[in-house]
Structure 1
Amino acid sequence: MLAAAPRLSTFLPRNSLFWQTLCYHLHTMKIEESRMAAVLRPGVKKLAGMFSEHGYEVRIAGGAVRDLLLGKVPHDLDFATTATPEQMKSIFETEGVRMINAGGEKHGTVTVRLEDENYECTTLRIDLVTDGRHATVQFTQDWELDANRRDLTINAMFLGLDGTVYDYFNGSKHLQDRFVTFVGDADKRIKEDYLRILRYFRFYGRIAEGPDNHSPEVLESIKKNVEGLGKISGERIWVELQKIITGNYGGDLLIKMVECGLNPYIGFPENLDCDNVRCVYKRCEEANIQVKEMHHMTLLASGLSSEEECIKLIARIKCSKREQEILLHIIKYRDFAMQATSLKEIKDLLVDLVIGEKRNKDVALFYVSEILKYTCRIEYRNALQDWNLPRFPVNGNMIGEKGIPRKKTKFVLNDLLEEWKKSDFSLSAKDLLDTLDIERYQ
């Protein structure tokens, strides 16, 4: 599993302003200069200077603040500002700054390019009307109102460029306690955007210290609103799902989602195989296989019992062709891999894929490797990585020279491939062709 992120005390001393303000239940704190250096890149300083010079306030918003408080270095920085999109465009035009992705303006976002980085700057806003996924917004200059429209308390903080954290809903305390909850009324937040149900589970995996420390009230709100996930596109559902599956407590969270009734709305079968989900995740843990190193489809296959269930899931989540193939491949061959008693059987499978089905060698090796991760046959996986697949010595022209009709070539090649496998890939082209019963194929 992923290692737990460090507690705040690992980098914020107990006598720091953070702890002093927390004791008094204030919602502002100061991050030390050494920590701020991670975000005060040249482009950020330029951006902040431009807003300040033109009389507007700008702060880092959301996930970057959360990650910084968790001791992580934020890579993607999003900004919130009191300036409207028109005012931002005026600033950037005056300063000669390049703007990109103009499509976000109706939602209050202007993206600029500074020092080879893109920065999204979004006007403070409130949601006037929502349909469970999209909102009609109104701009505001009230930071708390903007924070109030965000999903989770840990994502609703702002960071001033002087290091001041503005926390309106106890997000910093919740980070310290590893507690994941919605801003204000969970029921209301979920109804604003039903995708937040899956975001809750994703962030639970990133933040919580145990697999079952959920707030009962939050789970009740999720259960009441699961039907709303039916309004969410499969692509958006899949983006969240794959992060949940390979995150901390992935198996436990899949089961919890089933208990909350998400199944029919996200493409899961009515009876997801929770016992096998537990078994596969536990088996990987005992074999010291990191789930983050496994393909998400490999893990998701643990809950599916048939090709039919896979096809229904694929239709809902609109995943890629490569992902579809991995899922179906795991379902097809997992029992075979579990019951294999020799490396030779695994080699034969790889040969069937590369030579029999004419799959790309690297792709086929990846598929077989994922099956071996799923079944935790690590000794076979390691041995397979070091094996050089030999070249099959026979081709269609050789068969044609034997007088066998072209329409029978495929059948002959399959038969010879089986003979070659039985010989442990040692028979030459002559040896194989000598085994042919020509009359059989006439």
Structure 2
Amino acid sequence: MELSTRRERVGWYFYDWANSAFSTTVITVFLGPYLTSIAEKAAGCVDDGCDDAVIHPLGLSIAPGALFPYTVSLSVLLTVFVLPVVGAIADRSPRKKQLLALFAYIGAGATAAMLFLTGDRYLLGAGLFLLANVAFGASVVVYNSFLPQIADEEDRDRVSSFGWAWGYLGGGLLLLLNVAAVLMKDSLGLSTGEVARYSLVSAGLWWAGFTTIPLLRLRNRPVADEAAVVTGNVLTAGFSQLWRTLRGLKAYPLTLFFLAAYLIYNDGIQTVISLASQYGTEELQLDQSVLVPTILMVQFLAFAGALLLGRLARAIGAWKTVLVSLVLWTLVVLVAFFLPAKQAVPFVILGGAIGLVLGGSQALSRSLFSQLIPKGKEGEYFGIYEISDKGTSWLGPLLFGLAYDLTRSYRIAIVSLLVFFVVGFIALAFVPIRRAIEQAGNTPPERL
């Protein structure tokens, strides 16, 4: 029997299309600068700078510019506890599609509620983002766990790459509409802040609306181990299974080795994605009319990049292709450190390079990891994997925030991310990937 139909795979692609609006419009472009401006207003910043200003969330004293990276870091710290449990529950429940709906609509609702993020309500903004980002990560855990069920080992790189490409296309399309609103703000009678706020709301509505397509097309499958079906308290069963999964990881040391390498280098990728807008605004002093179209360009180039690196993976293997992408990411960070302020062209060129390498490195990492998962434990392992995926990194934003807080230099903050790509490359290069796949009980594809 065929693993899945084309109709079901297209439905699976559409959840990438739906949730990528949150990644692009909220995390990558609008929320960082908008939440920072609200925090600066609360701190009483004056026109000549904000160097000595502080805000006091929950009794702490921090620079307004550090609020967003700290909030990203905190949201991911929460996912460390939430996402593996969600994965364990997904594997033990025959209603995986309903779990996807639950988390998707919680995240979309929290995002749409940013309509009320006005004045100096930086705590409201931070709280809504925490809820939305954790729900986003939980929904992607369930979504990713469908991948081994709808594609075999020879087809998985292609299906995963196409899903990522489809996601960048959807996220880019909504961002295009929001860019048009930024450029037309005067004729619309709106301020830059109002356009940013309505753009955040549009991401929530987009996310919720397009989630209906995968919910109609994906099908629930029987639990691999019928004895593991949840019959009592699903949360208690999820924690119990999580504990067994963590203990059982020692039986797959090479999977754990790959996961450690991924968590390191993907922290760097996600930090660049989530804080690029803030770096461009605060350090390079670029206007939103330059910054937003550039990031829009990145989304559409990432669509092409995911397909391009997917083709390269079919020629030389996914593992080698990811290693090549990490070399390119290292060059991106080095170039970003030397970018001149108030000059749009170098920033646009760098954005093009990011777009070409972005989608493929993430898509191929996902498909590669799916080969290292024992059958029937897809949700559990993707729950651990998702801790550092798609804007849910924590070490990177924490290091970025600390570097800025201590030096008040965004350039030092951005170059500090080099450590993630260098260490991640070395760690991934030492993974014996074919042996790791066989150790998990799976058949390696022809090329790695």
TM-score normalised per structure 2: 0.22
Task: Name which one, 1 or 2, has greater alpha-carbon Rg.
Answer: 1
Q: Name the structure, 1 or 2, with higher relative contact order (CA <8 Å, separation 6+).
A: 2
Structure holding more helix per residue: 2
Structure holding more strand per residue: 1
